Each structure stands twice: as C-alpha cells, then as structure tokens.
Amino acid sequence: MIKMIATDIDGTIADWKGQFSPAVRNCINKLKAAGIKIVLVTGRMHSSAIHVAKDLELDTPLISYQGGLVKDCDGNTLYRKNLNPDYAKEIIVWARENNVHINLYIDDKLYVENDNEIIKYYVDGKHIEYTVCSFDDLKIDNVNKILAIDIKDADRVSSWVEVLKKKYPDLYIVKSTPYYCEIGSPEAKKSLGVKFLRDLWGIKREEVLTIGDQDNDIDLVQSGGVGVAMGNGTEELKKRADYITDTVENDGFVKAVEKFVMKI
C-alpha cells in the first residue's frame, strides 16, 4: 500500500509554464483526503517551491535543492547538506574562465554576477528574487548549490557535466533540464531527502511511489518502491524506472496514481 508520493515539480506535475491541470489538482486533493503524504522534491529553491506547496495546499515538508535542504512549511530546517565552500570558490573561478553563467545560492538566496537574459528566463514565473553583485563581495559559505545555465546550447551543458564530474568526482553533478547543470554536495540528492522523511514518518521504502522526468530524478525514481518516469522524461530515466506513464501534458502523474495508488 502506497503511503507517500514523492514527486518532482516541473515537467511532472506542472507543465513548463508552471501550470497545474485541473486533473492534477483534483488528484492531489483526493490523495490528501485519503491521508497519503505528498512530498514535493525539486531542484528549485525552497523560497520558490513553497509557493507551489501553498498553491496546492500541501502541508508536508519540502525537499529542495536536489535534496540538499528539507524544510517544513513554517520554514523550519529539518535537513541541510551544503556545498563545500572551497569547491564553490573553485567553480566560480571555472565559470568566469569559461564564460559560464552561474546562479549562486547562499542561505536560500540567489546571486548572479550579470543581469542578463539567462537569469530573466530562469526566474520568469517562479516567484524568485535575485541580487546582482560580484561574488567577490559575498561570504562564500552556507552554499545550497550552484547552477550553471546555457539556455540555447544543451550540448554545451552536457560538456560541463562531463568536465566537472571528472574534476570533482565527489560532488553531485547532474543535468536537471537540457540547459541546467546542477552542482551540489554529494549528500544533496533527492533520494536522501526522501529517505530522511521516510525515516521521520516510519514509512517503508516499498510504501513510497516516486516520480520524475529528468536525469536528476534518476536517484529519486530508484528510491521508491514504485519508480515512475514521465512519458516526457529522458531516455536514461526511463531505463531506470519501474514504469513509464504518460506525458505531463496528458496528466501522466494522474494516470500513475490511478494505476498504483487509487482510482481518481
């Protein structure tokens, strides 16, 4: 029996405009009424993801920053795994040398060095504020993660992942969309955030359904008793999943719930 659903947000329950279909909203309401815990598991900042939780009227803790931060809806920190500041400083230098735009997240605040089209694209519709400044003026500590972005060249992003994984094999480096390269603590994984909440609530692994759509959801999908890939998911994710549902546009989340949890 499924007691907990751990779900990615973008491309899974929300379309790429950040919208939730009426069917998804209805499904989530019925799951809540049935007492099933719904946990949002996202690469987003907590301060962005909390708007999603409030919109869906969820009161469960949020797993943000790829699993690097777990906070309850009152803002209390339950679990936190930051990026080592020495690594963060090295990656800032790498980004400058290679003309790579990076978002730097410190204490759930977003900093960039250039106010360009990339950051404007990133924050659009996500309830995110950001500060433009030289990173040299910041204390590089309590770093949630670094996000390297190229909104036009997915192959370039793939090359960053390859280069950085070789240079920093002990960090968690993964693509979260074709255009985003996530860099975080090795303990900042979606699966570890899910395990933390499972242990907190006394829920067994086989009682959890996990669902996502991108490569950064691979370890999430593999952490549940039932691991589901969205129909719009990456091929690598689909290879690792127990089941492939429909696309986000066709309410794949709802269809997975109907198959494994309850009729909607």
In whole angstroms, give the CA distance from residue 251 to residue 55.
18
pLDDT score of 27 more than 90: yes
Q: Where does the chain hold its CATH 3.40.50.1000 domain(s)? A: 4-80+188-260
Instruction: Classify the C-alpha dihedral 47-48-50-54 as positive or negative.
Output: positive
Q: Where does the chain hold its CATH 3.30.1240.10 domain(s)? A: 85-184
Q: What fold, for 4-80+188-260?
A: Rossmann fold (3.40.50)
- The whole-number pLDDT of residue 215 equals 94
Class of the CATH-defined domain 85-184: alpha beta
DSSP 257: H
- The whole-number pLDDT of residue 208 equals 98
Q: What is the mean pLDDT of residues 191-214?
A: 97
- The whole-number pLDDT of residue 17 equals 84
Q: What is the mean pLDDT of residues 250-262?
A: 97
Instruction: Classify the C-alpha dihedral 203-204-205-208 as positive or negative.
Output: negative
Tell me the per-residue pLDDT of 125-157, one tens digit each, with 9 for 90 and over: 888 999 999 999 999 999 999 999 999 999 999
pLDDT score of 82 more than 90: yes
Tell me the per-residue pLDDT of 181-194, one tens digit each, with 9 for 90 and over: 999 999 999 999 99
What percent of the chain has a predicted confidence (pLDDT) above 70? Answer: 100
16: confidence class by pLDDT, cuts 50, 70, 90: confident
